[in-house]
Amino acid sequence: MDKVRDSVASRKWLALGLIALAQFMVIMDTSIIGVALPQMRTDLGFTQENLTWVFNAYVVVFGGLLLLGGRLSDLVGARRMFGLGWLILLSGSAVAGGAGNVPVELAGRAVQGVGAALIAPAALTLLMMIFGSTPKELTRALAVYGAAAPAGGTAGVFLGGLLTEYAAWPWVFFVNIPIAVLALVAAPALLPGGRGGATGRLDLVGALTVTLGIGAAVYGIVRAPEVGWAAAQTWTVLLAAALLLVGFVAIQARRREPLVRLAIFRTPNLGAANLAQFLLGAAWIPMWFFLNLYLQQVLGLSAFPSGAALVPMTVLIMLAMIVLAPRLIARFGAKPLVVAGLVLLAAGLGWLSLVRPDGNFWIDVLPASLVSALGMALAFIPSLGTAISSARPEEGGLASGIVNTSYQLGSALGLAAATAIAATAGAGRIGDLGALTDGFSAAFVAAAVIALVGAVLAGATLRTPRTAELDAERARV
């Protein structure tokens, strides 16, 4: 009997390893291309302006399809969509790695984004299916899942540099193929199967409307720093996105079987936790992005040393998510941790804003980055867990898609806004260390303000478990 129990427990944690691997790869695919971009520009004929779309093509499609991916997990089955996502990611990686020109390269990256948009919500749904019945195990599982994201981001910087230097840039894409094959082989053995708990048909009109709306919003946001926030193109795209999203809400309100049941947002804490995730992404991603630029463009570090400079921060995030956050959640609950984490993140970002043109890693970067990392770790796990566990079991995929979308949209909007502020303050004047530092400092201040706003809103909107239960009972009545 003990052997059977141990075997079941071992299988559960192996399944968690596969789910964490999925999160690791989805995030790694955003960072692994960084070092390879100069060679890709030379070999494929990119211009300096359109080179950023090697990154953006993935992010726009990924963000636009997350809600659809979540709903498909509920209707078709999370394991099926998990496997299909890996198959599509494998195909996109093969196309991107074998591309001989710009359009094929961007098409491959877009296909990778489709795969990631199916994998991410399915992975979270599977995690809830396996661990959702045991709160203590669920918190630990979410911690491992959350820690995989910063690990993937840092590993991408190292691995991208290693593959580009000692192999060739196509290998930053080809490396996905054996990992995808491993995931496809392991999934049937480790993950629960069956159809999703939801019933009904797929709302294709709603799916198309929200995908185009979110895609247009992300496109407009990431494009704005390049063409200008005041440009007609920017506001035309953002207006189109707004109209599409308003149309989507109207469609969902009238459909008997909508893609997104709008009443889900009346679920206590679901909306508040998603807002916290949105603002957390909007503060964290600009910090990570501009810290990289400060290390390389001001302190003069090359790709490998700048990647190494992120390791202490990444290690602290992983340890805090896996070891510290679950214990603090058990003792204090989710709300105090989310608020405290966002306040700590704001403090770390404020400290980073004091960077100097003649600074150094040990004084200007390490202490402040560790404070920021600790804040991120403390806020991420309880807000993610609250956003997922607040939904009904049969809507786990939808809830996973919503929280992934919230974080991705927050990341895109925060980075675009911080980029515009940084450019205004001097971040575009390459070679002028004083101007660059001023620009990066302004970006850190902007991110700190976002984190503080997040802390205030989390304190005002998140409910304690007892209050949330009363609200849920009133909603049912």
Q: pLDDT per residue over 44-92, tens digit each?
A: 988 755 677 887 788 878 888 888 888 888 888 899 999 999 999 999 9
**Interaxial angle between packed helices 325-332 and 334-352, expressed in degrees from 0 to 180 and rounded to the nearest 10:** 130
Q: What is the pLDDT of residue 156?
A: 81
Considering only 148-157, 240-249, 435-444, which range has the smallest mean pLDDT?
Answer: 148-157
Q: What is the pLDDT of residue 470?
A: 41
* Chain length of the chain: 477
pLDDT tens per residue, range 119-130: 999 998 899 889
Q: What is the pLDDT of residue 474?
A: 43
Is 60 or 94 the better-scoring residue by pLDDT?
Answer: 94
Q: What is the pLDDT of residue 7?
A: 62
* 294, 431: one domain: yes
Tell me the H-state helices in 255-333.
270-293, 303-309, 311-319, 325-332
Q: Which burial class, exposed, middle or buried, applies to 330 when counting CB atoms under 10 A from its CB (0-12, 13-18, 19+)?
A: exposed
Considering only 120-124, 156-160, 315-319, 451-455, which range has the smallest mean pLDDT?
Answer: 156-160
Tokens of 167: 């192999």
Of 103, 47, 43, 92, the residue nearest 65 (C-alpha)? 92
| pLDDT of 240 strictly over 50 | yes
pLDDT tens per residue, range 164-173: 778 888 999 9
**Cα–Cα–Cα angle for 403, 179, 306, nearest 5°?**
70
Question: Whole-angstrom Cα distance, residue 320 to residue 476?
Answer: 37
Domain boundary, last residue among 185, 202, 219: 202
* 50, 82: one domain: yes
* 251, 189: one domain: no
Q: Are 82 and 118 spatial neighbours (Cβ–Cβ below 8 Å)?
A: yes
Question: What average pLDDT is seen over the chain?
Answer: 85
Q: What is the pLDDT of residue 306?
A: 74
* 252, 387: one domain: no
Is 463 or 22 the better-scoring residue by pLDDT?
Answer: 22
Question: Whole-angstrom Cα distance, residue 221 to residue 244?
Answer: 16
* 94, 30: one domain: yes
* 373, 396: one domain: yes
pLDDT tens per residue, range 246-263: 999 999 888 887 878 887
Which structural domain range is residue 361 located in? 264-477
* Cα separation values, 326 from 139, 275, 322, 382, 452, Å: 6, 21, 7, 9, 23
* 290, 337: one domain: yes
Q: What confidence tier does 477 reach under pLDDT thresholds 50, 70, 90?
A: very low
Q: Which amino acid is at 231?
A: A
Looking at the chain, the whole-number percentage of residues with pLDDT higher than 70 is 92
Looking at the chain, the whole-number percentage of residues with pLDDT higher than 90 is 39
pLDDT tens per residue, range 291-305: 877 887 889 887 667
| pLDDT of 475 strictly over 80 | no
Q: What is the pLDDT of residue 79?
A: 93
Is 375 or 467 the better-scoring residue by pLDDT?
Answer: 375
For the entire predicted model, the pTM comes to: 0.82
* 306, 382: one domain: yes
* 387, 469: one domain: yes
| pLDDT of 468 strictly over 70 | no
* 354, 421: one domain: yes
Half-sphere exposure of 356 (CA within 13 A, CB side): 7
* 126, 31: one domain: yes
* 95, 228: one domain: no
Count CB neighbours of 13 within 10 A. 15
| pLDDT of 472 strictly over 60 | no
Total domains present in the chain:
3
Q: Are 112 and 29 spatial neighbours (Cβ–Cβ below 8 Å)?
A: yes
**Cα–Cα–Cα angle for 374, 379, 384, nearest 5°?**
135
Q: What is the pLDDT of residue 179?
A: 95
Q: How far is CA 448 from its chain centroid?
A: 19
Q: What is the CATH number of the domain that holds 413?
A: 1.20.1250.20
Tokens of 454: 């997040």
